[in-house]
Structure 1
Amino acid sequence: MYDETIQRALARLKMQPIELPAPHLAWLVDNFRSDECQSIILTGTAGDGKTYHCRRVWLELGGTIEDWNGGEKIQRLSLGSRQLIVVKDLSELRSDESKPLIEQMAWDVADPNSPRVYLMAANHGQLLEKMKTAGSDKTTSALVEVVENLLVVG
């Protein structure tokens, strides 16, 4: 992962990172602090800053850098009565990991009272591929259709 590689190099060399403006970061953090927060999927190509934004949201909401760097592909953080589930990079998950995650996410997104919200980083193609191989139940299929329409139509 690009962001994690940079973070390890900075720590090893004891250097401060160059911070570029991230105009949507405050909006992301505010979303997850809100009582009506919504799950978010960050898409793009390699190097666009998806993992960077996930890490920064994680830290802003009280997660630790030690936990973030602990090697887990999926991070969990308590947000009051809800749990934030952060997927650093969907492409790193095996299908036996991504399939139940996507199915649960579909059910949670459909339920406004769900105790879980998601922040997921995924390349466009990987996102569609993993979603299309997830469950074929009505709720998962609806999520796949919405995401596909957003990626194709905008």
Structure 2
Amino acid sequence: MKNVFLSFTFLCSSFLIAQEGTNMKKEITPPEKVRFAFEREYPGKVPVWSEEYVGDDADEIRFEARYNVDDRTKAVAIYDNLGNMKAYELQIPFKQLPIKAQSYLKKNYKAKAIREIAMVVDDKKKTTYEVGIEKDSKFYDIVFDAEGGFDVSVEKN
């Protein structure tokens, strides 16, 4: 069991590092309001900033600050152009998922299919858990609610 956990942790870490390399967005410097909001919330952390356009017509801009919480944990803080936090995503180990989510994953997927796990808190303080799964050469985000109940599965490109 210990070897399985260590293997799983290694796979998750490796995948997150690989994801960062393949999904690299152009590094940018966000507006001062956004930088100030991040520095106030996470003093001493050094982010790598990128931007993404969202919304129905991709007319809203979001600034993503990717940073290391510690030597083994990564996080992403997402802000609008006024410096309001829109979401926070924290990499977590399998054992920190709610028990219901752990049971669902163990029942429906092999341990090696799990590529990444994150706790996500949105701007309304709603917590969800996202688990990246690779199955049949496709990547899926499995989303669970705060109690670990299955919410949705979304195929990623």
Scaled by the length of structure 2, what TM-score is found?
0.32
Whichever of the two has the greater Rg, that structure is: 2
| Larger proportion of helix | 1
Scaled by the length of structure 1, what TM-score is found?
0.32
| Larger proportion of strand | 2
Larger RCO (CA within 8 A; separation ≥ 6): 1
